[in-house]
Amino acid sequence: MTTTPSPELRPGVPPAGRTTAVAARATELSKIYGQGETRVVALDRVSVDFRQAEFTAIMGPSGSGKSTLMHCVAGLDTFSSGSVRIGDTELGSLKDRQLTRLRRDKIGFIFQAFNLLPTLTALENITLPMDIAGRKADRTWVDHVIRMVGLSERLSHRPSQLSGGQQQRVAVARALASKPEIIFGDEPTGNLDSRSGAEVLGFLRNSVRELGQTVVMVTHDPVAAAYADRVIFLADGRIVDEMYDPTADSVLDLMRSFPGGNPQTPGFDAKGRTS
């Protein structure tokens, strides 16, 4: 793993003492929709590293390309040019099946909603990625994760019998259970009340601190971003700023400094009907 920071990044130097191995890297990543008149550049030659055991938040106004960046790096979406690596694997050359396998084995996901299969129990949902892979789950590890998120009592419940916060904790446990190289969260707290949201974010931060997990999360909420080690800011498909060891206030301040950049009110983007 190289340590060269991307030249485009502003000199927000990572604090000393942190590991510098890279879990995922995007280089000159572009994503363009449509052609001619309708051409939209969602990502414009973005280069960014996500270091191991680091909790990164991606922020930016609606349409800034933050979700697109995450989807491309996570192998959920294709990109127009540039390259993405997860560990040693270059994503650009992978076919759908290989990409699927990569997601299954190396990536954990937490979505805003619809994280769980209603027909499966909490435990079955947690071990689902391993079941898909046809692998035996590491029982001790799974137990550890379950204890960490505090679900030991609810393993045989179905999602419909769990609260929203509990469901999202199941999703966190599922993401952690298969020991992925990197976990991506897409507004993981967007649908939760603040207390449940804080719990889920706490688990994610603990997994980084205690288990050395790598986590990348898209959010619009400065409070959520404050749980991260590092925040990168996107606007118009480019990275415009980054910040280490953020607090809710410092994030808010920085966002205010962007031209026309008011932080979105929580819930706006989340409920935006995109279907």
Partner 1 sequence: MFRTALRNVLAHKARLLMTVLAVMLGVAFVSGTLVFTNTVSDALQKSSAKGFERVDVAVRPEYQDSEGNEVGKTPELTQALLDKAARVPGAASATGVLSGFTAVADKDGKLVGGDWQSAGGNYWGTKDPRYPLVSGHAPRGKGEVLIDSGTAKRAGYRVGDTVRLSVDGPVLTPTVSGIFTTDDGNVAAGGSLTLFDTPTAQALFGKKGTYDEIDVQAEAGTGQSTLKAALDKALPAKLVETTTGKQLADDQARMISASMSGLKQGLLVFAGIALFVGTFIIANTFTMLVAQRTRELALLRAVGASRRQVTRSVLIEAFAVGTVAGVTGLAAGIGIGAGLRSLLSSFGATLPGGPLVISPGTVATALAVGIVITMLAAWLPGRRAAKIPPVAAMSSVHAKATTRSLVLRNTLGALLTAAGITVILAATRMNADTGQGLMGIGAVLLIVGVFVLTPLLSRPLIAAASPVLRVFGVSGKLARQNSLRNPRRTAATASALMIGLTLITGMTVMAASLQMSIDKMASAAIRADYVVSMANRGPLSPDVARKVASADGVTLSSPLRNGESRIDGDTEFLTGVDGSAIGELTDLKVTDGSFTVDGTRIVVDEDRAEEHGWKAGSQFTAHFEDGKAQRLTVAGVYEGNDMLNGIILDDKVLTPHLSDPADMQVMVKTADGASETAKHTLEKALGTNPAIKIQDKQDVSDEIGKMFTQVLNMVYGLLGMAVIVAVLGVINTLAMSVFERAQEIGMLRAIGLDRRAVKRMVRLESLVISLFGGVLGIGLGVFFGWAAGELLGTKMPTYELVLPWGRMTVFLLLAGTVGVLAALWPARRAARLNMLSAIKAE
Residue 131 interacting with partner 1 (CB under 8 A): yes
Closest distance to partner 1 from the beta carbon of 176 (Å)? 13
Closest distance to partner 1 from the beta carbon of 111 (Å)? 6
Closest distance to partner 1 from the beta carbon of 132 (Å)? 5
Q: Which of 14, 129, 222, 266 binds partner 1 (CB under 8 A)?
A: 129
Radius of gyration over alpha carbons of the chain, in Å?
Answer: 18
Q: Where are the beta strands (DSSP E) in 199-249?
A: 215-218, 230-235, 238-244
Pick the piece of the chain touching partner 1 (CB under 8 A) from 30-38, 118-126, 147-155, 209-217.
118-126
120 phi, psi to nearest 5 deg:
-100, 155
Residues 69 and 26: beta-carbon distance below 8 Å:
yes
* Cα–chain center distance at 73: 10
Residue 275 interacting with partner 1 (CB under 8 A): yes
Residue 120 interacting with partner 1 (CB under 8 A): yes
- Quick one: 77 or 258, whose CB is closer to partner 1? 77
Q: Which two tokens stand for residue 164?
A: 């929203």
- Which of positions 174-193 make contact with partner 1 (CB under 8 A)? 174, 186
Q: Which residue is associated with the tokens 């379950």?
A: 146
Q: Which of 56, 64, 115, 207 binds partner 1 (CB under 8 A)?
A: 115
* Cα–chain center distance at 239: 16
Pick the piece of the chain touching partner 1 (CB under 8 A) from 7-15, 38-46, 114-122, 227-235.
114-122
Distance from C-alpha of 20 to C-alpha of 225, rounded to nearest angstrom = 21
Residue 138 interacting with partner 1 (CB under 8 A): no
Pick the piece of the chain touching partner 1 (CB under 8 A) from 18-26, 41-49, 54-62, 108-116.
108-116
Q: Which of 1, 113, 198, 211 binds partner 1 (CB under 8 A)?
A: 113
- Which of positions 67-106 make contact with partner 1 (CB under 8 A)? 67, 71, 76-77, 96-97, 100-101, 103-105
Pick the piece of the chain touching partner 1 (CB under 8 A) from 25-33, 36-44, 53-61, 124-132.
124-132
Distance from C-alpha of 23 to C-alpha of 213, rounded to nearest angstrom = 10
Closest distance to partner 1 from the beta carbon of 130 (Å)? 9
Q: What is the DSSP letter of 52?
A: T
Residues 116 and 97: beta-carbon distance below 8 Å:
no
Helix (H) or strand (E) holding 184: strand 182-186
Residue 40 interacting with partner 1 (CB under 8 A): no
- Burial annotation 78-99 (CB, 10 A radius, 16+ → b, else e): ebeebebbbeebebeebeeeeb
Closest distance to partner 1 from the beta carbon of 97 (Å)? 5
Which residues, listed in sequence order, are joined to residue 86 by a DSSP beta bridge? Answer: 24, 89
Distance from C-alpha of 48 to C-alpha of 111, rounded to nearest angstrom = 22
What residue ranges bind partner 1 (CB under 8 A)? Answer: 67, 71, 76-77, 96-97, 100-101, 103-105, 107-109, 111, 113-115, 117-120, 128-129, 131-134, 160, 174, 186, 273-275
